[in-house]
Structure 1
């Protein structure tokens, strides 16, 4: 499949910070630890006993959708979990959050070449925008995902940048460090495309710093690889080697990173 990424930074545009992290309950702590190591199925299983509750059902669906993005597998499980979350959503905010996940699953399917669901993705995120208020907790994530669609499905970097900046400002205001790691990364990718090397290096470095501080292991190899595109040797080689080590440690996840790491591993 052709690479649909921003130049040198995002192989599939597939990462997403939709899930909770750093919560204080033992279950949420366990979910975060499993998720950060790419064990989405095990993390989702912890939520199964609570799947009739809207928040738990949505989080379970989000975990399984993220699994699709990183492994290109598990589409049927994600669809089933999402339908269950949609069925129990009762408030506008819950319905909006479910629509946001619906749009993201459709986006992932389109981006990874499973099935073209671009229209569905846009419609679902449009519905989410109508249900999630401008100051709501879920708005920065929605803005981020609308940026992904603008960039990777709409080939509109200007619209993507505006959406990413809104998401970045919202994540800053809410103290959402994980989302900030994604907005830093994607804004840096756009800067790199425009030849703004210093700006790109700063953004990629900030994204990597946050992910390392949070222990977001499954997202660290992509961050290392992205930063390597802005460095010269031997630093670039060191970063790629570390990314390759983590990629192998996680069993080849995310799958879309392989194309960036494998050729360099052979040289």
Structure 2
């Protein structure tokens, strides 16, 4: 499925207590609490974008909180001055529009494409935000444009960029999406490798909210009884987090696992 949420770098840098606290809350599906920690510094453009990205990620995982995400994004757009900040905000604008389209809230596909195109014009090839932008352009190509070839090219650019930056969380997403394309084409060995790498990275990072989807994805590429074992573990985490991500419920239903 395309319901992968990807905003920000994921891992904390150094020993910044604020970023450490934000990451711990985010990884446990407490996006509103994480965003609240950033509210006092939201006048700083990068912090404002990060706050918006947390609330947009909540939309992807819970299919709720759209108005709050929109308000936070507008605030981030208002304080952005440099091209890097405006590009980052445009990237989040495109992602929010993509999420609304994907979840059937409203068709905002044109807005998503325009915003990501604007981000591409503002973020140079060496920008730290370029890999994330490439990943999101891949999502649009695959799930809103039905163009797996273009999606694969974008995911590979994102994968290379994430590797160069040491962005392990983004790598977990690029591995997963590339593996999904491989599975669709019947390349089981490649799919299993990619899904396993995605799961490994998320477990190492402690990205709990993304671990159940990674387990379910790997299960789709495995034979029995391993597939059932992975789905059982995914169900346990899914229940632990109170049914988040919401879109995983159907895939983990007992009938679907039979």
Same-fold status (TM-score > 0.5): yes
Structure 2 residue aligned with 1:250: 241
Aligned length: 257
SS across alignment from 1:115:
coil
TM norm structure 2: 0.97
Structure 1 residue aligned with 2:94: 103
Q: Which has the higher contact order (CA 8 A, sep 6+)?
A: 1
Structure 2 residue aligned with 1:52: 43
RMSD: 1.1
Is 1:13–1:152's contact at 8 Å kept on the other side of the alignment? no
Is 2:163–2:171's contact at 8 Å kept on the other side of the alignment? yes
C-alpha offsets along residues 87-116 of structure 1, whole Å, 9 cap, x if unaligned? 000100100000000000000000000000
Change in Cα spacing, 1:261 to 1:20, as seen in structure 2 (3 Å) is closer
Structure 2 residue aligned with 1:117: 108
Is 1:47–1:56's contact at 8 Å kept on the other side of the alignment? yes
Gaps of 5+ in 1: 1-9
Structure 2 residue aligned with 1:155: 146
Divergent runs of 4+, >3 A: 263-267
Q: Distance in 2 between matches of 1:143 and 1:191?
A: 19
SS across alignment from 2:8:
coil
C-alpha offsets along residues 12-34 of structure 1, whole Å, 9 cap, x if unaligned? 43321434422221110000000
Structure 2 residue aligned with 1:6: none
Residue 73 of structure 1: CA displacement? 0.3
TM norm structure 1: 0.94
Is 1:13–1:148's contact at 8 Å kept on the other side of the alignment? no
Q: Distance in 1 between matches of 2:173 and 2:257?
A: 29
SS across alignment from 2:140:
helix
Structure 2 residue aligned with 1:21: 11
Q: Distance in 1 between matches of 2:63 and 2:218?
A: 24
Is 1:19–1:59's contact at 8 Å kept on the other side of the alignment? no
Q: Distance in 1 between matches of 2:72 and 2:6?
A: 18
C-alpha offsets along residues 50-95 of structure 1, whole Å, 9 cap, x if unaligned? 1111011111000000000000000000000000000000100100
Superposed counterparts of 1:224-243, under 5 Å? 224-243=215-234
Gaps of 5+ in 2: none
C-alpha offsets along residues 98-150 of structure 1, whole Å, 9 cap, x if unaligned? 00000000000000000000000000000000000011100000000000000
